[in-house]
Amino acid sequence: MQCAAGILILGLIFVLAWENCQLFVGIMQGNYAFWETMKWEMNEKRGDNDKREFIRWMEFTPTKEAMQTAYDWDVETVSDPIHIDWITLLAYGAVKGGGKFDKKVIRAMNEYAEAVRSGEKDMEALEEMKYYSYYHEILSAVLDGMVGNYRIEVSDDEGNVTWQDCYGLKAFSPIAKGVYYNDYDDFGTGRSYGYKRRHLGHDMMGQIGTPIIAVESGYVEALGWNQYGGWRIGIRSLDKKRYYYYAHLRQNYPYAEGLEEGSYVTAGDVIGYMGHTGYSATENVNNIDVTHLHFGMEIIFDESQKDSDNEIWIDCYELTKFLYQNQSAVEKIGDTREWKRVYDMEDSPIVSP
């Protein structure tokens, strides 16, 4: 009896040691998605279900090329008997690459999509792949609502404007069409104003007054002064999963006319204007050296994460590169400082926030 108990204890020690060894290897390799999914699996084995209520940390790793590949398949097959959903295809790629998207992974995505289209593969079988559900959930949290059906005004060669039903990318670049800006991947770099911290957004440098665009349809949750972000806007997506943060807006005239907390905005609307306000407890001060838009996206799996010490902000650099293909055309309103979109759009139905 004592021998059997000893063997059981040794077995448990071996299992725990092996799991922790896997975690250590994942961390050393920088594969944080692997680390997170291993934690999920370990919690399930140990019965710690209270720790699996929602995802508490994630990385968004798809490259612009990976997103474009998945998106092209989605649009190309939308009318086919088998529609290849872009988030599903990206989740497959994430599984194949352990959360990383290199050329080999993109090639595997194309091969898999070809096999699905020919009937050799079944997309429903992906549910059985290890970690697929995890990757699908985190990718959906970021990308849901960016592709789908919408109506938009279009102009023909003679200037006649009509409404057209469309399917495709209905999220926009945060910078208006025809306006120059420059950027680089600056997520995670150090910041020292107030206290030492990581930069949890993406800076897009341009000119004062550049029209800033609503990336996705939603409701304005925050509007006003913040000593770090200056004049800023916070917009929540209709499904509540994404909180878009636009900061350092123009001094004296930061927002589109009529915008206020609770306002509904449609993707592609002008919501404000680029500036360099912030880094001051006093309102309307330009203490930022370089004119730019700070664009951030917070992912919210549970409402308790919002405005907490456990917020999840993602690196938006590759996403903004992908969204560049869909910039909102704008025009100036007379002699005012206001700009508006040229072509109206109808997105999701307006629902109560």
| pLDDT (tens digit per residue) in 56-113 | 999 999 999 999 999 999 999 999 999 999 999 999 999 999 999 999 999 999 999 9
> In this structure, are 223 and 299 located in the same domain?
yes
Shared domain for 121 and 266, answered yes or no, is no
In Å, the largest CA–CA distance within the chain is 91
The pLDDT tens digits for 277-296 are 999 999 999 999 999 999 99
Q: Rounded to the nearest 5 degrees, what angle is found at the Cα of 158, between the Cα atoms of 154 and 159?
A: 45
Q: Phi/psi at 246 (nearest 5 deg)?
A: -120, 120
pLDDT in tens, 127-181: 889 999 999 999 999 999 999 999 999 999 888 999 999 999 999 999 999 999 9
How far is it, in rounded angstroms, from Cα 31 to Cα 175?
A: 32
- Are 107 and 232 found together in one domain? no
Same-domain pairing of 209 and 106: no
Percent of the chain's residues with pLDDT above 90: 75
Where in the sequence is the domain holding 135, given as residue range(s)? 64-143
Q: In this structure, what CATH number is given to the domain that contains residue 313?
A: 2.70.70.10
For residues 337 and 219, membership in a common domain is answered with yes
**Which residue blocks in 29-102 are alpha helix, DSSP H?**
32-46, 64-76, 86-97
Query: Are 172 and 150 contacting, i.e. CB atoms less than 8 angstroms apart?
Result: no
Are 43 and 175 part of one and the same domain?
no
Cα radius of gyration (the chain): 23
Q: With a cut of 70, say whether residue 327 has pLDDT above it.
A: yes
Report the pLDDT value the prediction gives residue 194, as an integer from 0 to 100.
Answer: 67
The Cα–Cα gap between 268 and 320 comes to: 14
| Statement to judge: residues 22 and 80 lie in one domain | no
**Same domain, residue pair 132 and 186:** no
CB atoms within 10 A of CB 110: 16
CA gap 350, 335 in Å, rounded: 32
Average pLDDT, the chain: 87
Q: Is residue 26 part of a domain?
A: yes
Do 110 and 190 lie in one domain? The reply is no
**Residue 352 domain-assigned?**
no
Tokens standing for residue 99: 């959360």
Does residue 164 lie within any of the structural domains?
no
* Residue 149 maps to a domain: no
Question: Which of 19-28, 260-269, 293-302 is predicted least confidently?
Answer: 19-28
Other residues' Cβ atoms within 10 Å of the Cβ of residue 349:
7
**Per residue in 19-30, pLDDT tens?**
444 444 444 444
Say whether 9 sits in a helix, a strand or coil. helix
pTM of the model: 0.85
Q: Is 24 within the bounds of a domain?
A: yes
pLDDT value at residue 313: 97
Q: How many domains does the chain have?
A: 3
In a shared domain, residues 202 and 327: yes
Q: Is 193 a member of any domain?
A: yes
Q: Is the domain of 75 the same as that of 101? A: yes
Tell me how far apart the alpha carbons of residues 8 and 189 are, in angstroms, rounded to a whole number: 48
The H or E element that residue 21 is part of is: helix 2-28
Q: What is the pLDDT of residue 170?
A: 97
Average pLDDT, integer, range 230-258: 97
Q: How many Å apart are CA 130 and CA 311, to the nearest integer?
A: 27
For residue 121, pLDDT beyond 90: yes
**Tokens describing residue 349:** 């139905």
Residues 156-170 as b/e (b if ≥16 CB within 10 A, e otherwise) read: eeeeeeeeeeeeebb
The secondary structure of residue 286, as a DSSP letter, is B
Shared domain for 91 and 215, answered yes or no, is: no
* Closest residue by Cα to residue 206 from 249, 236, 170: 249
User: Is 215 within the bounds of a domain?
Assistant: yes
Note whether residue 156 is domain-resident.
no
* CA dist 316 → 32, 218, 334 (Å): 17, 18, 34
